[in-house]
Amino acid sequence: QVQLEESGGGLVQAGGSLRLSCAANGSIFSLNAVGWFRQAPGKQREYVAGITSGGSTDYERSVNGRFTIFRDNARKSVYLQMNGLKPEDTGVYYCNADLMAEGGRMYYDYWGHGTQVTVSS
Identify the band that residue 1 occupies on the pLDDT scale cut at 50, 70 and 90: confident
The three-state secondary structure class of 33 is strand
List, as own/partner pairs, every contact residues 70-74 make where C-beta atoms lie below 8 angstroms and the sequence separation is at least 24, other chains included. Answer: 71/31, 71/34, 73/30, 73/31
Confidence of residue 10 (pLDDT cuts 50, 70, 90): very high
pLDDT in tens, 12-57: 999 999 999 999 998 999 999 999 999 999 999 999 999 999 999 9
- Condensed to tens digits (0 to 9), the pLDDT of residues 54-68 reads 999 999 999 999 999
Q: Do residues 53 and 33 lie in contact, with contact meaning Cβ atoms separated by under 8 Å? A: yes
Residue 90 has pLDDT above 90, yes or no: yes
